[in-house]
Amino acid sequence: MAPTSASPEFDKVGYWSPNTASIDWRKNNYVVTPYIAEFWNAISSFAIVAVAVAGYFLLPNSCLRRFSVLIQSYAVLGIGSVLFHGTLRHKMQLLDELPMLYSATIIYFICIETKFGKVGQWFPFALTA
């Protein structure tokens, strides 16, 4: 039986082959270019970087430092996502997934302090742990 577009045998060998990531969305890899594994996912991740950079420069000076840190974490998330979807390497997957956890933790911190006020200096360390 000939390989179809839905079968893993359809994947082309690219510059970053073989894939070492623990997850592959079973999309056709290296279809557009042999240098980017999941072309459209990688390209669309640039939007995350663009929004984060725009948000960083449009953030008022009076805005709290924690929002600046949140926007910076989104920029790192976008860059990691571009690298992961471009290479499908395990180390790049960590650059994609870990900033998601860090961003969620920062959002949780912002929500808690907004609702209850300053909790204490121990709170960021407790969240990190």
What confidence tens digit (pLDDT) does each residue in 28-65 have? 888 888 899 889 999 999 999 999 999 999 988 777 88
Is 96 annotated as belonging to a binding site? no
Is 9 annotated as belonging to a binding site? no
Is 11 annotated as belonging to a binding site? no
Is 90 annotated as belonging to a binding site? no
Judge whether 98 lies within some domain. Answer: yes
Is 113 annotated as belonging to a binding site? no
By the 10 Å C-beta count (0-12 exposed, 13-18 middle, 19+ buried), 93 is classed as: buried
Judge whether 10 lies within some domain. Answer: no
Judge whether 30 lies within some domain. Answer: no
Question: Which range marks the domain in which residue 98 is found?
Answer: 39-128
Closest by Cα among 50, 56, 30, 53 to 41: 30
Judge whether 106 lies within some domain. Answer: yes
Taking only the tens place, the pLDDT of each residue in 67-121 is: 999 999 999 999 999 999 989 899 999 999 999 999 999 999 999 988 888 888 8
Judge whether 6 lies within some domain. Answer: no
Judge whether 54 lies within some domain. Answer: yes
Number of domains in the chain: 1
Judge whether 18 lies within some domain. Answer: no
Judge whether 55 lies within some domain. Answer: yes
Q: How far apart are CA 42 and CA 55, in angstroms?
A: 21
